[in-house]
Amino acid sequence: MGKPRPVCALVCLLFLWGQGMLMTKVEATSSVHIVYLGGKQHDDHILATNSHHDMLASVVGSKELATELMVYSYKHGFSGFAAKLTESQAQKVSELPGVIRVIPNSLHRLQTTRSWDFLGLSSHSPVNTLHKSNMGDGVIIGVLDTGIWPESKAFSDKGLGPIPSHWKGVCESGTGFEAKSHCNRKIIGARWFVDGFLAEYGQPLNTSENREFFSPRDANGHGTHTASTAAGNFVDNVSYRGLGLGTIRGGAPRAQLAIYKVCWNVLGGQCASADILKAFDEAIHDGVDVLSLSIGSSIPLFSDIDERDGIATGSFHAVAKGITVVCGASNDGPSAQTVQNTAPWILTVAASSMDRAFPTPITLGNNKTFRGKGLYSGNDTGFRSLFYPVAKGLDPNSAGVCQSLLVDASTVAGKVVLCFASVTPGAVRSAAEVVKEAGGAGLIVAKNPSEALYPCTDGFPCTEVDYEIGTQILFYIRSTRSPVVKLSPSKTIVGNPVLAKVAHFSSRGPNSIAPAILKPDIAAPGVNILAATSPLRRSQEGGYTMLSGTSMATPHVSGIVALLKAVHPDWSPAAIKSSIVTTAWRNNPSGFPIFAEGSPQKLADTFDYGGGIVNPNGAAYPGLVYDMGTEDYINYLCAMNYNNTAISRLTGNLTVCPIEEPSILNINLPSITIPNLRNSITLTRTVTNVGASNSIYRVMIEPPFGTSVSVKPNVLVFNHKTKKITFTVTVTTAHQVNTEYSFGSLTWTDGVHIVRSPLSVRTEFLQPYI
């Protein structure tokens, strides 16, 4: 059930509960392996567990030892187990009948008020999807993350209905977490899974630097933040250091939460694939409707059927049971081909900013004023000396690099320091700590422009500017005998003056596993998101903090999925995904196009934000959807040339791929991506009418540059008998050249609904070697 257990001979655990310490010693010759047996073989869970123990006992020599070595038995959504094995034992297990694969455990990492109004879900409007769905009442959102801080007001069950009748899960007690008092009608389930991580980590988990709880309680704060963003209740008068003041809530404030703690407070948050798979297995059994995972791995990615991913395998079984799985795209942008969680059954989320900014005035001694960005809410600094570090030698600017700032008290005491950041992540905070420790009065960081802000240590005055403004400030310093500057507190502005952008850090497509499968699918606010957190988190104030990341964008979409599930309980995960992708915004509410941060900034395209920024009210009534089921995903696996046996085990049914390999271009996605067009290609799509029975849709085409696109039929007529229609799309190029991707769209409209599919094409012609 996720609790650490002693494993004799191979693993020795020393519990020092009085000091909150867990010491773990693991022999180097053994480690956790995941034994994957494919789809669930029968409904008798006891029989399944016994068969797993018998299989392990046949290799290790006795049932008693098998029990000690067993970490998890997977028996609800799929079949298999995780166990401590030596390499030779793992090899013997892999040779047993019925075993698809034995793979070593692997680690994953965490990815990280105004946003709901920006998305059109104001609680004051009586006609939007928030109210039509009764705020997600009766829908259960499962969150796989670092746990939850149950005392937060965001998890009050005030105004909530009874626990849904389809819920079969439990609340587990543990260190600092009592099921009877900490679970309620908001937090209806809470479990924790650590055995897979403990077996690999081999060090004390609970230290003074990284406090942790062996329970669902959240020491890191990341899980509390994502859970409250997805389904937190209303909390009035919340701000972060006086900024962003307002009422915070989740996207589906009346939905219930099921918490699965799979990530642990080490190195920023680490999660073992064995634990993730076990959480999926239990969540499928428990009866969740949506699963939200702000977790990723790293490039290069594992294949869709490789259990070391954990997320792709677990989510396949969840989606097969009708559970929508929402995952983050990761935070490795703006480089291309960095998007993660790329399986077509996953709804993959990029991060955008929104129409809110925190300008921070900077006033120079020559009366010039610049607008920086920051989260500074202290007092006006008054005019202070302004200093830029200069090094001796051939590179005088080297001392002014933020991430390696060279200053001391004799040069910066009482002064505001200017530095230039060449590497953005962590540069602001680390430089602020250096300047503060040296007695400085403030910091100005010049960096590549982005909307994501990070507070400086303990309210230390700091602000960010772009290189252009930073250079102007530097010229002022160099041309003035006694340069001075004043930093003023940050302000909060919202609305049309501020344009949403795709965040600099948000991972980009195309998909590195299957370029024909568009990823990311959608973007959502993930920049400077104010939500609840653990009071143990360093950056928190009053139990709340602002965080940025695709981790924050993911629960926005999870909350929206819960609303859609409440309005359309019979919709499949694919239908929900289609409705979100085809109704997304490509422009800001003011009409200006959406840009993508990077070097340089550019107009956002499909590989930055998928269909666009999520439009919840449009997604609730899309008109048409591109629906799919398990058979379509099997066709995808066949098109990827995966082994018949592996596919059969994954699905739990005998699967033989057709002799003529299916085209990956015919997978019924709500998007079309052609990575290697040569001359002409024809593909098919099928749409299902979910609007008025008698409807006529006409096609509108925006062809990618250098291509022509035709659709047959170009008019779709639906009535009470005709609910689904298949059409073909032919894309042709006359240019015999290799190109980068060009972007367009294919849109169906009946005059009320606009059903837009992103269209991405790259031409590729083979040339003879010379």
CA distance 400 to 436: 15
Structure tokens at 37: 């047996």
Q: How many CB atoms lie within 10 A of CB 391?
A: 13
Contact 385, 411 (CB under 8 A): no
From residue 500, give the alpha-carbon distance in Å to each of 258, 352, 504, 531: 31, 7, 12, 19
Contact 673, 611 (CB under 8 A): no
Structure tokens at 249: 């809530």
Tell how far CA 130 is from the center of its chain: 22
Q: Which long-range contacts (CB under 8 A, 24 or more apart) does 739-744 make?
A: 739/706, 739/763, 739/764, 741/510, 741/605, 741/606, 741/607, 741/704, 742/704, 742/705, 742/706, 742/707, 743/605, 743/606, 743/704, 744/701, 744/702, 744/703, 744/704, 744/705, 744/707, 744/709
* Catalytic annotation, pick one of 117, 145, 521, 605: 145
* Bridge partners, residue 682, by sequence: 730
Q: Write down how long the chain is.
A: 770
In the annotation, is 273 catalytic?
no
Output the CA torsion 300→448→540→276 (10° steps). -10
107 CB-contact burial (10 Å; exposed 0-12 / middle 13-18 / buried 19+): buried
CA distance 657 to 634: 8
CA distance 290 to 561: 7
* Bridge partners, residue 240, by sequence: 243
In the annotation, is 222 catalytic?
yes
CA distance 248 to 244: 10
CA distance 725 to 711: 13
Tell how far CA 14 is from the center of its chain: 35
Q: How many CB atoms lie within 10 A of CB 46?
A: 8
* Catalytic annotation, pick one of 108, 222, 317, 504: 222
Contact 191, 147 (CB under 8 A): no
Structure tokens at 486: 């004043």
What DSSP string runs through 516-554?
TS-SS-EEEE-SSEEEE--TTSTT-BTTEEEE-SHHHHH
Which element (helix H / strand E) includes 230? helix 222-231
Contact 501, 451 (CB under 8 A): yes
Which element (helix H / strand E) includes 726? strand 724-733
* Bridge partners, residue 758, by sequence: 745
CA distance 573 to 593: 29
* Catalytic annotation, pick one of 551, 558, 648, 695: 551
In the annotation, is 309 catalytic?
no
From residue 563, give the alpha-carbon distance in Å to each of 121, 123, 557: 11, 13, 10
From residue 251, give the alpha-carbon distance in Å to each of 183, 525, 722: 20, 12, 35
Query: Under DSSP, is residue 744 helix (H, G, I), strand (E, B) or coil?
Result: strand
Catalytic amino acids?
145, 222, 551
